[in-house]
């Protein structure tokens, strides 16, 4: 963990200036050049680090502060408690990207591991309140599209996860505050890009396609969000695309809900993102995303 | 240690702006208000934290960035490897103060514990090369003077420590680089102000006089350094004052030196800061500060 502090200290400097000589970086951080080399070597496993003629840099394409999406405010932070909490202080069309979260969380406030090298971000958008339920399908779909575009065979696992070969690559989280007809929505995303992963059920882009500059994912994702209002104006098209990329469809599922366990076959998803499950005794049950704590494929 | 990260994250924000409401601080750090209260409570044990009408602040008098000593550049950093290494990149009449050191060190590169709430700083000065040896006595003396001024019965323990009731309160470290007739000197100080202390042989201002705003020590110390050239122009007066505040004088000492152990009675200090020891067999030995790794009082 002291190691994490060293990494964060060096990262801070690397994000501060485009290129550093080792000597200047040593002066900036107060870390000896020898130790600095070790830290940079370790960081190279989780960031696209460029080393050229004695200079060291984090690739622009891996630096979230280098994206300048039109109409958006970007906040790039080294450490935050949670990007979801941070985002509460931001106006719509802002996004915060953090290198490290102290208490990152996912759905149902479950702890979300946020090691160095991933994308931990929350975007704030605003849209008509009656359109906001469609985000349940639009957001995971958007992330899945972005990943497909960079050649990753990504699927949606209901309700809001992205999986590759049945392993979790990322997740999305949607929280909102309504104000009259308008809804401010806090869209959290966690994507395992180049971060090291402690759990066998998860995977990362690093494992699948190798070290990946994060802006290759982040920039098109923000691009889709810019057009989100248009996207949710055709919910039936969204549902079709969502279903055709839903790995959960036609699978046997076991859902842990706030009212107990439900088992059955996933047969449909409606435009609000609810899953229709056909249970053993022939009854169809509708599972709203917020009711489900955990879902696993039973086959 | 995650806890240290939370504290550092909140500290960063607190030093960034004069006053915060809890809500805004939560937005700035991404830490929930509830968790924030806990972190602030803990920080209040190591910093002069002010809480008034729902606002929270670190007292200006405890914020090193608020000192504006004439002719000096002040660098206030949250985390550095070591202030001594950081200072290598600074021009003379600069000072760096860090809240946390990753690998703080003292004499003979011994690890120096640098918990939150102390003064961990390095000042860069320049003076004629022939005057620089007098700093060995001038610097500890200066620090001792500052502490006496705020009512602490501080003594010098040879060569460069400050003790109160035989317990270590602080230490100084002098490293230099000569360039022709001029010497650039890196003066490191570590002072246990409000930091928690893990070892029984040490003490802190918090223990002795209660929570102390660090600038009460830092500002006059920098003031003395401004006049250091004048100070070292009268080495014999310096020696007199040094000796009259030297707790080591006339004591039996056991010195671990780079050439072995030396035992005897400390009888004198010369103007270069060397200790004259009268050994059992009646021989006088001169101990230069740099030769001595560790010294303890044997009586």
What one-character-per-residue DSSP string does B52-112 give?
ETTEEEE-GGG-GGG---TT-EEEEEEEES-HHHHHTTS-SSEEEEEEEESS-B-GGG-B-
Helices (runs of H) and strands (runs of E) counted in chain A: 9, 15
Q: Tens of pLDDT along B135-164?
A: 999 999 999 999 999 999 999 999 999 999
What CATH number has the domain spanning A252-297?
Answer: 2.30.30.100
Q: Which residues of B fall within a CB distance of 8 Å from A81? A: 6, 9, 26, 29-32, 35
Cross-strand bridge partners of residue B123 = B95, B187
Distance CA A299, CA A249 (A): 12
Q: Which pLDDT value is given to residue A54? A: 87
Query: How many C-beta atoms surround the C-beta of residue B62 within 10 A?
Result: 24
Choose among B248, B246, B250: nearest CA to B296.
B248
Show pLDDT as tens, one digit a residue, over chain A (299 residues).
459 999 999 999 999 999 999 999 999 999 999 999 999 999 999 999 999 888 999 999 999 999 999 999 999 999 999 999 999 999 999 999 999 999 988 887 888 888 999 999 999 999 999 999 999 999 999 999 999 999 999 999 999 999 999 999 999 999 999 988 999 999 999 999 999 998 889 999 999 999 999 999 999 999 999 999 999 999 999 999 999 999 999 999 999 999 999 999 999 999 999 999 999 888 999 999 999 999 999 87
- H helices present in chain A, as ranges: 2-16, 22-29, 33-43, 83-87, 135-149, 205-209, 215-226, 228-231, 235-244
Selecting from B9, B80, B82 the residue whose C-beta is nearest the C-beta of A79 gives: B9
**Domain B64-244 = CATH 3.40.50.720:** no
Residue in B5, B80, B101 nearest the CB of A79: B5
How far is A6 from A35, CA to CA, in rounded Å? Answer: 9
B94-101/B73-80 β-pairing:
parallel
Q: DSSP string of A51-95?
A: EETTEEEE-GGG-GGG---TT-EEEEEEEES-HHHHHTTS-SSEE
User: Which chain B positions have a beta carbon within 8 Å of A82's beta carbon?
Assistant: 30-32
Structure ipTM? 0.92
Distance (Å) from the C-alpha of residue B109 to the closest C-alpha of chain A? 12
Q: Are B283 and B262 in contact (CB under 8 A)?
A: no
Asked if B89's CB is within 8 angstroms of A31's CB, the reply is no
Give the C-alpha separation, B252 to A134, whole Å. Answer: 82
Of B192, B199, B44, nearest in space to B115 by CA: B192
What phi and psi, each to the nearest 5 degrees, are found at residue B249? -65, 135
Pick from A1, A27, A29: CB nearest B2: A1
Contact (Cβ atoms closer than 8 angstroms) between residue A150 and residue A144: no
For chain B, give every domain's residue range: 2-58, 64-244, 252-297
Closest-approach residue (CA) in chain A for B101: A30
Spell out the alpha helix ranges (H) of A155-294.
Answer: 205-209, 215-226, 228-231, 235-244
Distance, in Å, from the CA atom of B247 to the CA atom of B241, rounded to the nearest integer, reads 12
B210-256 pLDDT, tens digit each: 999 999 999 999 999 999 999 999 999 999 999 999 999 999 999 99
Instruction: Enumerate chain B positions whose Cβ falls within 8 A of a Cβ in A.
Output: 1-2, 4-6, 8-9, 24, 26-32, 35, 77, 79-86, 88-90, 96, 98, 100-103
Fold agreement (A2-58, A64-244): no
Considering CB atoms only, which of B27, B32, B88 is closest to A89?
B27
Q: Are strands B161-164 and B155-157 parallel, antiparallel or unpaired?
A: antiparallel
Give ∠ CA B28-A174-A198 in degrees, rounded to 5.
80
Candidate from B5, B84, B96 with C-beta closest to A102: B5
Beta bridge partners of A269: A275
Count of A-B CB contacts under 8 Å: 110
Closest CA to A214 of A48, A70, A93: A48
The answer to whether B35 contacts A4, with C-beta atoms less than 8 Å apart, is no
Distance from CA of A86 to the nearest CA of B (A): 4
Q: Are A166 and A159 in contact (CB under 8 A)?
A: no
Is B88 within 8 Å of A35 when comparing Cβ atoms? no
pLDDT in tens, B253-276: 999 999 999 999 999 999 999 999
Half-sphere exposure of A35 (CA within 13 A, CB side): 19
Residue B54 near residue B22 (C-beta atoms within 8 A): yes
* Res A25: pLDDT: 98
CATH 1.10.10.10 at B2-58, yes or no: yes
The minimum CA-CA distance between A211 and chain B, rounded to whole Å, is 27
Q: Which two tokens stand for residue A38?
A: 């070790």
For A276, counting Cβ atoms within 10 Å of its Cβ (0-12 exposed, 13-18 middle, 19+ buried), the class is middle
Q: Are B8 and B98 in contact (CB under 8 A)?
A: no
Question: Which site among A4, A12, A26, A30 would you substitute to test the B interface, given the most B Cβ atoms closer than 10 Å to its Cβ?
Answer: A30
Best A36, A81, A121, A190 member to test B by mutation, with max B CBs in 10 Å, is: A81
- Residues B56 and B17: beta-carbon distance below 8 Å: no
């Amino acid at each position: 963990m002291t190691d994490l502090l060293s990494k964060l200290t060096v990262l801070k400097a690397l994000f501060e200036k485009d290129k550093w000589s080792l000597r200047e970086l040593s002066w900036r951080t107060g870390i000896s050049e020898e130790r600095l080399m070790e830290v940079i070597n370790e960081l190279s496993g989780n960031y696209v680090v460029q080393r050229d003629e004695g200079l060291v840099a984090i690739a622009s394409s891996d630096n979230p502060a280098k994206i300048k999406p039109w109409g958006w405010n970007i906040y790039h932070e080294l450490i935050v408690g949670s990007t979801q909490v941070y985002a509460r202080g931001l106006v719509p069309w802002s996004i915060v990207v953090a290198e490290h979260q102290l208490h990152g969380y996912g759905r149902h406030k479950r702890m979300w591991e946020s090691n160095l090298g991933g994308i931990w971000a929350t975007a704030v958008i605003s849209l008509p309140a009656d359109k906001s339920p469609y985000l349940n399908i639009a957001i995971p779909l958007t992330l899945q599209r972005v990943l497909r575009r960079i050649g990753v065979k990504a699927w949606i696992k209901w309700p809001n996860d992205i999986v590759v070969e049945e392993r979790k690559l990322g997740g999305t989280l949607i929280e909102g505050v309504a104000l009259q007809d308008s809804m401010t929505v806090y869209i959290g995303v966690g994507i395992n890009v180049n971060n090291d992963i402690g759990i066998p059920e998860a995977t990362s882009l690093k494992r699948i396609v190798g070290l990946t500059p994060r802006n290759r994912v982040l920039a098109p994702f923000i691009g889709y969000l810019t057009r989100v209002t248009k996207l949710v104006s055709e919910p039936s098209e969204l549902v079709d695309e969502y279903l055709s990329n839903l790995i959960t469809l036609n699978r046997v599922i076991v859902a842990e809900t706030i009212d107990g366990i439900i088992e059955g076959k996933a047969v449909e998803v409606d435009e609000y993102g609810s899953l229709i499950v056909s249970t053993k005794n022939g009854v169809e049950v509708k599972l709203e995303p917020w009711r489900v704590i955990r879902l696993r494929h039973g086959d």
